[in-house]
Amino acid sequence: MSQIPWLEEDLEFPDISSALTDPDGLLAAGGDLTIPRLIKAYQQGIFPWFDDDQPIMWWSPNPRCVLFPENVHISKSLRKKLNKNLFTVTFDKDFQGVIQQCADSRQATTGTWITDDMQEAYLALHEQGTAHSVEVWMNDELVGGLYGLALGCCFFGESMFSTATDASKVAFVYLCNQLREWGYSIIDCQVENPHLFTLGAENIQRSEFQTILESNIHKKPKPHDWVFNWRWVKGL
């Protein structure tokens, strides 16, 4: 860790060009998970990711995995499932339940970076109105969802989970279509995975991501109250 800058009490981050050249892009360590620091980090394309036995670590990957809302891909099988109306989808109905399920699902497999401190921090962001969740319900049971941050016309996805087939995909499709309606320009998916690629995510260079970020992070989307507008759902 001696080669990685250590953050002090001030909120300044190193220039992202100094991030390690491996794809994960470790930029700095230390600091805290206060609301001002987290918001400043995301505004600069930086996010925290660490385990319980590690200091807080901050990342700026290159390439960056993103999805442009208008490019979301809905497969034939997923479209059929959506049209069957098997699920009910909501915004911000159970943020705590979603983040807990995301943490539990990873703990059961590879271990989770959604530590208790991370959960507390993002719950604070939710209560402050910056972090949001999408919930997918089946027979009143929470079976899928995702959460992330909304800043300007950018949405920063953090994690998703699914206990029913395709439930997380349903959450993501609903989110993409609604964000597109509201004028959001990009969804930051951080690091690639095959699941996201099936939904239309792609890798772009960090420099391109930063340009998009700078152009949209302070823009205002259409006024909205984080409630789904069901007009577009009929067209799925």
* Tens-digit pLDDT profile for residues 221-232: 999 999 998 665
Q: For the whole model, what pTM was predicted? A: 0.94
DSSP-based three-state secondary structure for 34: coil
- Whether the predicted pLDDT of 61 surpasses 90: yes
Tokens 């990009």 identify what position? 186
Asked which of 88-92, 110-114, 158-162 is least confident by mean pLDDT, the reply is: 110-114
| Other beta carbons less than 10 A from residue 226's beta carbon | 14
Distance CA 15, CA 44 (A): 9
Q: Which three-class secondary structure string do you get for 133-191?
A: EEEEEECCEEEEEEEEEEECCEEEEEEEEECCCCHHHHHHHHHHHHHHHHCCCEEEEEC
- Kind plus residue range of the DSSP H or E element containing 77: helix 76-83
CA of 183: how far to CAs of 90, 115, 116, in Å? 19, 32, 33
Question: Would you state the structure tokens that stand for residue 224, as one six-digit string?
Answer: 């909205």
Kindly report, residue by residue over 144-196, the tens digit of the pLDDT: 999 999 999 999 999 999 999 999 999 999 999 999 999 999 999 999 999 99
* Cβ-contact 148, 157 below 8 angstroms: yes
Amino acid at 198: T
pLDDT at residue 231, as a whole number = 62
When the pLDDT of each residue in the chain is averaged and rounded to a whole number, the result is: 92
- Whether the predicted pLDDT of 1 surpasses 50: no
Domains, the chain, with CATH or none: 6-61 (3.30.70.3550), 65-235 (3.40.630.70)
Distance CA 116, CA 91 (A): 23
Distance CA 141, CA 32 (A): 34
Positive or negative, the CA dihedral 116, 118, 124, 130 is negative
